[in-house]
Amino acid sequence: MSDAKAVADRLVKAKRLNALLTPSKDLRKSLAAQEAAARPTGVLYGMPVSVKDNICTLEFTTTCGSRILEGYQSPYEATAVAKLKAAGALIAGKTNCDEFAMGSSTEHSAYGRVLHPLDKTRVPGGSSGGSAALVAAGAVPAALGSETGGSVRQPAAFCGVVGMKPTYGRVSRYGLVAFGSSLDQIGVFGRSVHDAARVLSVISGRDPRDSTCEDRDPLRLPTVPESLQGFVIGLPREYFPAELDPAVRRACERAIRLIKELGAAVREVSLPHTPYAVPTYYVIAPAEASSNLARYDGVRYGPRFNGSADVRSLYRSTRGQGFGAEVRRRIMIGTYVLSAGYYDAYYKRAQQMRALIAQDFRNAFDRGVDLLFTPTVPSPAFKAGEKLSDPIAMYMSDIFTVTANLAGLPAMSLPIGRVKGLPIGGQLIGQAFLEDEMIEAAYALERVVPATEEA
């Protein structure tokens, strides 16, 4: 418990990162109450876990990093949060994020950008940058984030921590504020594979309140393997383009060499529709966002911006002042691609391409590949402000992560090296509901890959 008490002090010191929007005021009291209990209960007994601010909690506000939900107190809590508490975890506060999880740098929060824990001039990734930064800074051993197109794995890679995204339907979305409903998932950050996997196992499992949650038992953790003998690891050629950052390529090549030394067979595969993943994602996700965010109108949630003469002007003023530029951009894109004249040309074709991307993965796994290994992101963390004026360049930082969301597959990022002190992440993509195989391989890789060695 002494370690957990130190977390409260580290959370205070982490304020400089602007990663925590709402800290726990009662963390020390909760620790004292647990110490006074007759005996420890729960597999996460005493573990402080921070929660991204688009996941509903009872004791904290849920703002989604937006002014339009400023001060909003949810009347219910997310299933994932309830399961954490039941396992003995302590909720350490709500973390800063891109507004409504729309962003790749946590620069789109209405409450200011999150600083990278190793270099304040750089971004921690997004949209779950606050959760990643807190774990990387050592303030908490684990944190919850959310994924729509890589928003756990990308900041995990930038910050040098482990980030896991489960199969779509493995973890209940009940209490996760909707952005893109067919893509959204709750994911986990940890300082180690074991920390992240342990939390993921706790929050997984069936939930009658979420119709998209599969009727499956909670994830069971595998044992740490001595080798990867018997594994076949696929290397998608489309994820190693000529323009890949040289340091990222070197770190991946070193990891691949160590995978072979662990006894795994390595095979090149092709996922031919990968080049279409980003445009496909940025049609489907904004389309779903435009529908989900229609509920924020100044009537039911958050503040009402006054000066409105009628309902139309009320909606316009509330959304215009309450939503940030990136959210407004995506709502407009989504409304456009769903409009009667353009639905078939954009949204329908994007859904057809999504099916082809998912088929690419099935083809690779049907040919005997167990897991895929790729870079998590094309480069280390970029400078703050570097891509704000070019949304397309920002979107391209998700080029290696959006495919797993479109296909609904489990994936994770783990540190595999550094360049000039900045972390580099390697990604494992697994087969649906076979997170145990992915975690088993990650255990082995974590043991041998030099996560802090310069590439």
Just list the catalytic residues.
Answer: 52, 127, 151
For the chain, report the end-to-end CA distance as a whole number of angstroms: 37
User: To the nearest 10°, the Cα dihedral for 131, 383, 237, 449?
Assistant: -60
Cα distance between residue 130 and residue 277, in whole Å? 26
User: To the nearest 10°, the Cα dihedral for 229, 231, 237, 239?
Assistant: -100
Contact 287, 338 (CB under 8 A): yes
Sheet containing strand 90-95, edge to edge, reads 20-23, 90-95, 48-52, 142-147, 185-190, 162-165, 411-419, 422-429, 371-375, 232-236, 265-269
The candidate with the shortest Cα–Cα distance to 358, out of 114, 105, 183, 103, is: 183
The candidate with the shortest Cα–Cα distance to 286, out of 333, 243, 242, is: 333
Contact 434, 371 (CB under 8 A): no
Cα distance between residue 296 and residue 157, in whole Å? 33
Three-class DSSP category at 145: strand
Report the DSSP beta bridge partners of residue 233: 266, 371
Cα distance between residue 423 and residue 455, in whole Å? 10
Cα distance between residue 37 and residue 258, in whole Å? 46
Cα distance between residue 377 and residue 300, in whole Å? 39
Cα distance between residue 74 and residue 136, in whole Å? 28
Phi, psi of 343 (to 5 degrees): -55, -50
DSSP letters along 419-447, please?
Answer: ETTEEEEEEEE--TT-HHHHHHHHHHHHH
Cα distance between residue 211 and residue 393, in whole Å? 35
* Greatest distance between any 2 Cα atoms in the chain: 70
The candidate with the shortest Cα–Cα distance to 146, out of 50, 26, 263, is: 50
Running DSSP on this structure, what letter comes out for residue 368?
T
Contact 429, 411 (CB under 8 A): yes
Q: Which runs of consecutive H residues, i.e. helices, occur in 381-434?
A: 391-395, 402-407
